[in-house]
Structure 1
Amino acid sequence: MARFTLRIRVRYNECDAQNVVFNARYADYVDLASTEFLRAALGGYQELLAQGYENQIVKLLIEWKAPARFDDVLDLNVSVG
């Protein structure tokens, strides 16, 4: 599996008073997408550990192009190089 997409809808509690997603929530989306990727690819994080591996996000760079807003549908893409 070289590419994985998780579709989510922005929830109200992830937004500020202007209905824009808080900046820190994008890191939560990365964690959610990577966890679901592992579930789809290997059966979950515990299976990764059982095979003697671990994963860590050691660098996270976010470049915003446009704000996500309440009730938007986002495609979170994970790819492995």
Structure 2
Amino acid sequence: MSFFKINISPRYSETDQMGIIHHSNYLIYMEQARLAWLSSLGFSYEKMEKEGILLPVYKIDIVYKKPIKFDDVISVKVRLKALPTARVVFVYVIVNNFDVICGTCVLTLVFTDAHTFRPRKPIPEFVEACQRLF
């Protein structure tokens, strides 16, 4: 499965005193990429929430390799690690404008019933859309 990619220009307000993008913003950038990926499949969190599904974070494993600087334009690449079950696992790679890897991440979300907060299966249309990617 290939990566889906978006480009982001970090804002000055996302930097620390050294002109480096604060590490907490990596999660925001990854969420932007994931939302764009979902949209490209014809889905959104809003659509899933209307179906009674929430997607809380179960696990995040981020490796910070090189700092992102204010003037960098970054590419955030995202793909599924495997077909979703009650969990969906995303793999991310963030590269700067010199194609240097700045960070990698494996993020696990859990499909959760919005009323009982218990794990559940994803909606079949979402699984079908994901199957076409493999």
- Aligned-residue offset at 1:62: 1.0
Residues 12-49 of structure 1: per-residue CA shift (max 9 Å, x gap): 01101211011111111122111111111124323334
Match of 1:38 in 2: 38
Label 1:2 to 1:49 Cα distance change in 2 as closer, same or farther (>3 A): farther
What is the correspondence of 1:1-81 to structure 2 with a 5 Å cutoff? Answer: 3-50=3-50, 53-80=53-80, 81=82
How far apart, CA to CA, are the structure 2 residues paired with 1:55 and 1:41? 17
Secondary structure (helix, strand or coil) at the match of 1:63 reads: strand
TM-score (norm 2): 0.52
Q: Residues 42 and 48 of structure 1 are in contact (CA less than 8 Å); yes or no, is this contact kept in structure 2?
A: no
Point out the structure with the larger helix share. 1
Point out the structure with the larger strand share. 2
TM-score (norm 1): 0.80
Structure 2 alignment gaps of length 5 or more:
83-134
Q: Highest relative contact order (Cα 8 Å, sep 6+), 1 or 2? A: 1
Residues 43-79 of structure 1: per-residue CA shift (max 9 Å, x gap): 4323334566543332111111100010211111110
Q: Residues 39 and 45 of structure 1 are in contact (CA less than 8 Å); yes or no, is this contact kept in structure 2?
A: no
Identity %: 27
How far apart, CA to CA, are the structure 2 residues paired with 1:62 and 1:77? 14
The alignment covers a number of residue pairs equal to 81
Query: Which letter does structure 2 place at the counterpart of 1:44?
Result: S
Task: Give the number of the structure whose alpha-carbon radius of gyration is greater.
Answer: 2
